[in-house]
Amino acid sequence: QTDLAQKIANELRAKLSPTEKAQIEHRPTENGEAYLAFLQAHNVSGAFEDFEQLKQSEQLYQRALELDPTFALAMARYSQLESWIVHTFDRTTQRREKAQTLAERALQLQPGLPEAHLARGYSYYWGDNNYDAALKEFEIAQTG
């Protein structure tokens, strides 16, 4: 994938910024099955008003993390999903803490990951009603 993206950019005579090059070169996981489960989870969660689909997405994120426990991007997106469920369907402490834990773990694995800062921001915003902390995380995510 990395080579293909570079070849396409070269053919188009496109100039890639250092950030774009880093994004192309960084693979979120080496495990193809984990990545497939991640993509499926992301696609299934598209209907944010359907709790059953959200639970299906949750299972797929869990599967991705079983296959690759260091898959920070999957962890961050899973945290975002959990925060959304806290906000809309299930305000239990257990689910709120799960969202927080996933976001923190994603940041431990990949401190500069914008999606992990976004996840922590959602956790603060929807889980804790801590809007100042959420805003700081959203700003970090935006500049990341």
**Host domain of residue 2:** 1-29
- Please indicate, yes or no, whether residues 25 and 82 belong to a single structural domain of this protein: no
State the total domains in the chain. Answer: 2
Who contacts 74 (Cβ-Cβ below 8 Å, separation ≥6)?
A: 28, 29, 34, 37, 38, 41, 61, 64, 65, 68
pTM for this prediction: 0.82
Cβ–Cβ under 8 Å, residues 66 and 29: no
pLDDT in tens, the chain (144 residues): 556 555 655 655 555 556 555 555 678 999 999 999 999 998 887 767 788 899 999 999 999 999 999 999 999 999 999 999 999 999 999 999 999 999 999 999 999 999 999 999 999 999 999 999 999 999 999 997
Could you give the CA distance from residue 31 to residue 28 in angstroms, rounded to a whole number?
Answer: 9
Who contacts 48 (Cβ-Cβ below 8 Å, separation ≥6)?
A: 54, 84, 88
CATH number at residue 107: 1.25.40.10
- Please indicate, yes or no, whether residues 10 and 20 belong to a single structural domain of this protein: yes
- Please indicate, yes or no, whether residues 36 and 102 belong to a single structural domain of this protein: yes
